[in-house]
């Protein structure tokens, strides 16, 4: 009887078990949550910590300049978000967020572009352009040190579920899910990199490998192509949803943008 069971189990595991679309359920225990910063080498940490050496501040400064200057015919951002208006300190820590009017999920980049269109009568900036990265980095930098905290209730719930679905879904030629690296193998060495828990709290960030400053979506595209999965578009609803899922997962971590990563 025992034998038959054992053999049955072997056969099932070996030949007949249908593969699941999803990786197994897993998480990072609440007490273990750590920023990607914790896995960096000392010289990379030092670069992030020094505002004068951190290359990300080139984009923050660019964003600050844009924030305070008017494009032809438009008011400046600082007209509304100045010392007397709606200050932006701490605001970035609560993105992505659902836009009450349209029900759409907005990350910081999208919120900035919406402001341009609705309040300044300007065209949206192209995703990953230095201007949009700069504005995003500037606004995010006003939340440095604030704990990540997003709302996933009400209209945000479906986006959270969509993001979670993406995180656990196996994909690409290598058939891996985000969760398999960032929940199950963080702390281990993937060649020169230590796999972190895959949080987004440092972005937009300067990546040494890019020799450039980039958005979280650029980082997600790298992880997708790393497993030979077709990456999603910049600013796509799917990556927005993943961004929301990641933010909830990173709840309480300090905002670091402009971060520096390998």
Q: Which parts of this chain interact with other proteins (CB under 8 A)?
A: 1, 3-4, 7-8, 11, 13-17, 19-21, 23-24, 169-176, 180-181, 184-185, 188-192, 195, 224-225, 227-231
Of 261, 156, 153, the closest CA to residue 200 belongs to 261
For residue 178, state whether it binds ligand HEC (rule: CB under 6 A): yes
- Binding residue (CB under 6 A) for ligand HEC from 56, 200, 214, 258: 200
* Residue closer to ligand HEC (CB basis): 88 or 181: 181
> How many Cβ atoms sit within 10 Å of the Cβ of residue 153?
8
Q: Which two tokens stand for residue 140?
A: 């995010």
Q: Which residues contact 36 (CB under 8 A, 6 or more apart)?
A: 196, 197, 198, 199, 201, 202, 259, 261
Q: Which two tokens stand for residue 223?
A: 């992880």
- Least CB distance to ligand HEC at residue 219 (A): 5
Binding part of the chain for ligand HEC, among 43-51, 108-116, 131-139, 192-200 by CB under 6 A, reads 192-200
Q: Which two tokens stand for residue 217?
A: 């979506």
Burial class (CB in 10 A: 0-12, 13-18, 19+), 200: buried
Structural contact between residues 37 and 202, judged by C-beta atoms closer than 8 angstroms: yes
124 binds, among other proteins, ligand HEC, none (CB under 5 to 8 A by kind): none
Residues engaged in binding ligand HEC (CB under 6 A): 36, 167, 176, 178, 180-182, 190, 193, 195-196, 198-200, 202, 219-220, 223-224, 226-227, 242, 246, 261
């Amino acid at each position: 009887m025992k034998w038959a069971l054992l053999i049955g189990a072997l056969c099932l595991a070996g030949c007949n078990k249908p593969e699941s679309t999803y990786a197994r359920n897993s998480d990072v225990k609440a007490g273990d949550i750590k920023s990607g910063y914790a896995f960096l080498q000392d010289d990379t940490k030092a670069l992030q910590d020094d505002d004068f050496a951190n290359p990300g501040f080139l984009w923050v400064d660019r964003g600050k300049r844009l924030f305070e200057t008017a494009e032809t015919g438009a008011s400046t951002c600082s007209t509304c978000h100045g010392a007397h208006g709606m200050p932006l300190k701490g605001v970035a820590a609560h993105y992505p967020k659902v836009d009450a009017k349209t029900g759409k999920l907005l990350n910081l980049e999208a919120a900035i572009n919406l402001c341009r269109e609705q309040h300044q009568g300007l065209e949206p900036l192209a995703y990953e352009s230095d201007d949009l990265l700069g504005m995003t980095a500037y606004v995010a930098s006003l939340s440095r040190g604030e704990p990540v905290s997003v709302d996933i209730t009400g209209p945000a719930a479906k986006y959270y579920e969509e993001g979670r679905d993406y995180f656990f879904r196996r994909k690409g030629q290598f058939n891996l899910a985000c969760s398999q690296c960032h929940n199950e193998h963080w702390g281990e060495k993937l060649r020169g990199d230590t796999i972190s828990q895959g949080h987004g709290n440092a972005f937009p960030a300067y990546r040494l490998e890019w020799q450039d400053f980039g958005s979280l979506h650029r980082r997600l595209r790298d992880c997708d192509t790393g497993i030979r999965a077709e990456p999603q578009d910049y600013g796509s609803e799917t990556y927005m949803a993943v961004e929301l899922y990641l933010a909830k997962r990173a709840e309480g971590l300090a905002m670091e943008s402009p971060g520096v990563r390998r």
